[in-house]
Every structure is written in structure tokens, then in C-alpha cells.
């Protein structure tokens, strides 16, 4: 309650810069409350300790010795005793000559099951029936068993499937597209309420509802979820969730008011001309707990200072594109990740939408002053995106390397985000469409990049959310034939794969038209929330 009061004191819809000009007393008050808020947030994180914090020493040994093949297994495990009892036993046992770490782990922890364990699909019933059944299989109520890393949520939600046993932020929007086609508006509303709850509890929506995800978010699709829900419940939805929309916005913009040109803090970057853009970022500088061993081993190969490298790898995880040549300075090596050095074109397009939705909520409340305030923020961001992220030479949108004051060298399908949100002009959209057709269109849909690094967010892989964003972005500018071709190829690949395997998968090899997509830190997962949602949406849109 006190945390929410402080948030309202800090962010009362006035810009911090206005406070600075008007009253130095208010500025000192702002600094005081900012420090106090940060302390409270730190305390809140201490109240939800992660596995690395609960099991120091034991955690590192289990992860580095690969007691479990997948690093996510242990951080999701159910303890059979209290952390105090487990650590007490470990301190006594691990110094004994015959100590067996694997046996100890199995004695004190239960391994979690995959979300779709035990489900057998009926291929003969067809893919629509399969998706309709999977909504029930993947529907989940938060686990409240003490000692697990799962953060309880008050309402039902859909998990992606497989090793992903919790709600994921940006996945959920694309899952909701399918739920809407299935007329499961109740479940859409439940999930929106859960995300609003997370914002109120933690000041942002974490990557997923796990303690080890609290240090970062994911691409901010909450405003699109609210927009989707409003289509079925009316415009009052925009007003109902305005407090959470604003809180999320303040999370992404935190610290921006005091930024000097050519500097960055947390998620925000102020460019030389005073423009504000955003980057992906994580508040932690340690290896990811769910991929601890992988991060430690890769960290041994980097030339960066380890805290900087770990933040870059975590920021790439926040982007959802973990991992891709898009974030690599040399375009091919994970050890050269430079995520925090890039103003990401997709992130800034999403924040443009968030600003417009907040403005719309104020327009509906007939608050013209605040509507104009956020409309101006959106207008300024649009100008900055077009100025800094448009590559005139190559005819595409790219991320901007703010430290070098130059566009990134890497081309990716993230270029379609300004089309999806109607930021691009017609000439730019036509050039993007031409490049998509020439370099990204494959036999099974749209590839993520043109480079094959062995990472899962690179060629030859294609992903459901990026197919949808591309298709809708092209439709916005009249490129209907190309959009239809992409949709048909993606649907054909999904359905052919389902007939072959009985599954809908997390990603596909679109270049070879195969379900055997590779790359990444874990085996190919089935289920799969966003694939189900996008496929059902496209099947209905394209009949």
C-alpha cells in the first residue's frame, strides 16, 4: 500500500522536468522519495528470494555440474524441506568424502513436469480441435507451495507449454489472439488482470512469474492486451487499466528526466538532440539463474567486463530474442553481445503504442490536457524513430547504436514493427516490403534474420509472433498479396508439421519448411501458446 502511495507521489502525470523548473524543494522531495521507493523495491525483491539467494553454494554446484540437463529444471523445482533445513543438510553432507550431489538434489527436490505432460493429440480430429483442447491443457493456476520460485497470480492464465510452466509476458498477447478467436474472453480478461496485478505488486511485468525473472521485463505488449480486451468489453477498459498503463510507462522511462544528451540510464537513452529512445536492460549483472552454466561459460570468452556482459545477455533475454545476431557486435558471436548499446526499433514502436493508448484513455475521460501530454510524447518518439532507426541506404528500419551514433549493421525482421504500428510513411513501407520479399520470405514463412549463427532467433528459424507482426504490418500499407503469401506459407508449415508430429511447436525452420528448428539453450518445445494463437487467428482471417 505504501509503495503504491509513493508511486503516485512520484508520478502524478506531471513531467519531472517541470518539477525541476518550478520548485527546487519539490526536486529535493522527488530525490528523497525516489531513493525511498528504490529501497522499498529492494525490500520487495528480498521478500521473494530467488533460488540462487535461497541456496548459495548449492545452487552454483548443481547448475555448473549439470545435475539436471536443463538449467531451468532446478530453479523451478519443488523443495521437500525448508531452505534452511536443506542448506543445513548441505553444509554437513557436502564435505564428506562420499558426498553425491545428484543424490542430494534428488533427495531434497522434486523435478517439475512439463506443462503438456501426458497429453496425447488426436491428429484425425484436426488442428482446430487440437488448439481448442490445448487451451484447457495449458490453462494454469499459480502454484502457491512455499519455497518454489513461482510468483502466485490471482487469476487463471495460459502457459506456453513444455519447460515454460509459467506465464510469459509478450507470449501472452499472441496467445490471447487465439483465445479471442475461441471466444475465451473470460480468460483474456483474467490474464490482463494478472498483468495489472504484477504491475501493482512489482512496478512492472516481469519476464515471467518467477522470482528469478523479477530483475527484467519483456517487450511491453500490455497496451495491446488492453486494446484487445476493449474490443470485447468496450472503451471503459482503457480507463480501468490506465493506472497500470502509466505505471508500466514510468518503469520503462525511469530516470529519463535527469538524463543529459548522449547518456543512458536503465531503459532510457537521451540522444544528442535531446530525443528520448529506449533500450532493453536488466537490473542485475550476474548470470541468469535459469541458464547459469551457459552464461558462465560464455562469459569466459568475452572481452567485456563480466558485469557488463551479464547485463547484455540479460537484456537480450528481456527482448524476447534470446539470442540473435541482432544483438551481436560482430554479427556472429554471443560473447560480443551489445544489447544495452542499441535503441531497439521494436521496443520503441511498442512504447509509441503505449503512449497513444494512455492518451486515448485520457481522451475518453475528457481530460484534454493529459491526452495532449501523452500525444506529444508519442509524436516526439515517432520523429525519433524515423530519424534514428530508418536506414535510407538499405530501405529498412534498424536498431540504433547510440554510443557510436550509427545504425546497427544487423538487419532483422524487427524492421516491420514501425509498419505494424503505422509509424512508417508509405515510401518506407514499400521499401521494407520489397526487402521482406527479397531476403526474408522463405518456403515456410518469414525468417527472423538473414544470418545463420546457430542461435534460435536467427535464420533459418521463423516464429509465430513475427509472422503475425509482419503480415499485419504489410496489410496496413496495402501489401495484401505479400501478406497473404506469408500467411499461407506459415499456416501450411504449421498444419503439415501437426499432421506429421501431432504437435504445434515453439518455432519452425521456415527455410527448409521443417518442424525440426534448432538453436537455443534447450530442446524444441511443443504446446505452444503463441503458435496456437497466431495460427488460429490467421486461419480465421484468411479462411
Q: Name the grid cell of 350.
A: 511498442
Q: Render 134-199 in DSSP notation, one character per residue.
A: HHHHHEE-----TTSSBPP-SS-EE--BTTB-S-BHHHHHHHHHHHHHTT-HHHHHHHHHHHHHHH
- Our CA dihedral for 398, 399, 400, 404, rounded to 10 degrees, sits at -100
Q: Which residues pair with 446 in a beta bridge?
A: 441
Backbone angles phi, psi at 450, to 5 degrees: -100, 0
Q: Name the grid cell of 473.
A: 504490418
- Are residues 112 and 121 in contact, defined by beta-carbon separation less than 8 angstroms? no
CB contact set of 467 (below 8 Å; sequence gap of 6+): 445, 446, 486, 487, 490, 534, 538
| Annotated catalytic residue, options 166, 181, 506, 509 | 506
Task: Say which residue the cell 554437513 belongs to.
Answer: 92
DSSP-based three-state secondary structure for 359: helix
Task: Say which residue the cell 503463441 belongs to.
Answer: 530
Separation of alpha carbons 203 and 283, rounded Å? 13
Task: Say which residue the cell 560464455 belongs to.
Answer: 298
DSSP-based three-state secondary structure for 530: helix
- Is 322 a residue of the active site? yes
Residue-wise burial string across 499-519, b where 16 or more C-beta atoms lie within 10 A, e elsewhere = eeeebbbbbbbbbebbbebeb
Backbone angles phi, psi at 454, to 5 degrees: 90, -5
Separation of alpha carbons 336 and 313, rounded Å? 10
Polymer length in residues for the chain: 543
- Is 521 a residue of the active site? no
Burial of 96: CB neighbours in 10 Å, binned 0-12, 13-18, 19+? exposed
| Annotated catalytic residue, options 76, 290, 322, 346 | 322
Would you please indicate which residues are annotated as catalytic (active-site) residues?
Answer: 322, 506
Amino acid at each position: 500500500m505504501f509503495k503504491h502511495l509513493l508511486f503516485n507521489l512520484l508520478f502524478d502525470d506531471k513531467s519531472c522536468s517541470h518539477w525541476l523548473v518550478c520548485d527546487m524543494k519539490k526536486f529535493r522531495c522527488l530525490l528523497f522519495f525516489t531513493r525511498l521507493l528504490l529501497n522499498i523495491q529492494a525490500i520487495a525483491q528480498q521478500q521473494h528470494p530467488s533460488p540462487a539467494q535461497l541456496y548459495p553454494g548449492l545452487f552454483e554446484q548443481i547448475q555448473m555440474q549439470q545435475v539436471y540437463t536443463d538449467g531451468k529444471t532446478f530453479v523451478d523445482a519443488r523443495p521437500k524441506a525448508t531452505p534452511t533445513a536443506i542448506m543445513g543438510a548441505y553444509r554437513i553432507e557436502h564435505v564428506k568424502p562420499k558426498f553425491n550431489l545428484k543424490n542430494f538434489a534428488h533427495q531434497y527436490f522434486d523435478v517439475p513436469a512439463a506443462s503438456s505432460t501426458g497429453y496425447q493429440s488426436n491428429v484425425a480430429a484436426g488442428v482446430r480441435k487440437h488448439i481448442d483442447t490445448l487451451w484447457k491443457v495449458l490453462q494454469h493456476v499459480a502454484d502457491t507451495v512455499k519455497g518454489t520460485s513461482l510468483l502466485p497470480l490471482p487469476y487463471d492464465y495460459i502457459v506456453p507449454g513444455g519447460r515454460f510452466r509459467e506465464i510469459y509476458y509478450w507470449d501472452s498477447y499472441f496467445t490471447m489472439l487465439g483465445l479471442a478467436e475461441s471466444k475465451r474472453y473470460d480468460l483474456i480478461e483474467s490474464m490482463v488482470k494478472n498483468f495489472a496485478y504484477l504491475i501493482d505488486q512489482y512496478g512492472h511485468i516481469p519476464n515471467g512469474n518467477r522470482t528469478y525473472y523479477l530483475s527484467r521485463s519483456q517487450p511491453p505488449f500490455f497496451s495491446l492486451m488492453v486494446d484487445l480486451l476493449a474490443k470485447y468489453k468496450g472503451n471503459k477498459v482503457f480507463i480501468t487499466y490506465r493506472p497500470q498503463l502509466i505505471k508500466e510507462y514510468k518503469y520503462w522511462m525511469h530516470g529519463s528526466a535527469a538524463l543529459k544528451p548522449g547518456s543512458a540510464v536503465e531503459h532510457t537513452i537521451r540522444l544528442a538532440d535531446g530525443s528520448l529512445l529506449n533500450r532493453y536492460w536488466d537490473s542485475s549483472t550476474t548470470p541468469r539463474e535459469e541458464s547459469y552454466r551457459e552464461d558462465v561459460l560464455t562469459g569466459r570468452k568475452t572481452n567485456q567486463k563480466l558485469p557488463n556482459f551479464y547485463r547484455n545477455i540479460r537484456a537480450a533475454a528481456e527482448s524476447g530474442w534470446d539470442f540473435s545476431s541482432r544483438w551481436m557486435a560482430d554479427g556472429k558471436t554471443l560473447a560480443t553481445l551489445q544489447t544495452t548499446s542499441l535503441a531497439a526499433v521494436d521496443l520503441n514502436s511498442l512504447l509509441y503504442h503505449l503512449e497513444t493508448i494512455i492518451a486515448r484513455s485520457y481522451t475518453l475521460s475528457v481530460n484534454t490536457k493529459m491526452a495532449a501530454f501523452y500525444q506529444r510524447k508519442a509524436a516526439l518518439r515517432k520523429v525519433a524513430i524515423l530519424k534514428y532507426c530508418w536506414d535510407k541506404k538499405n530501405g529498412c528500419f534498424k536498431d540504433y547504436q547510440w554510443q557510436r551514433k550509427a545504425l546497427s549493421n544487423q538487419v532483422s525482421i524487427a524492421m516491420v514493427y514501425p509498419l505494424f504500428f503505422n509509424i512508417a510513411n508509405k515510401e518506407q513501407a514499400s521499401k521494407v516490403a520489397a526487402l521482406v520479399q527479397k531476403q526474408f520470405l522463405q518456403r515456410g514463412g518469414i525468417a527472423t534474420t538473414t544470418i545463420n549463427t546457430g542461435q534460435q532467433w536467427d535464420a533459418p528459424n521463423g516464429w509465430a509472433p513475427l509472422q503475425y507482426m509482419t503480415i499485419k504490418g504489410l496489410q496496413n500499407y496495402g501489401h495484401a498479396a505479400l501478406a497473404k503469401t506469408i500467411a499461407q506459407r506459415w499456416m501450411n508449415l504449421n498444419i503439415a508439421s501437426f499432421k506429421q508430429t501431432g504437435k504445434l511447436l515453439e518455432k519452425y525452420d521456415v527455410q527448409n519448411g521443417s518442424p525440426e528448428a534448432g538453436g537455443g539453450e534447450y530442446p524444441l518445445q511443443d504446446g505452444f501458446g503463441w503458435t496456437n494463437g497466431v495460427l488460429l487467428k490467421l486461419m480465421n482471417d484468411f479462411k
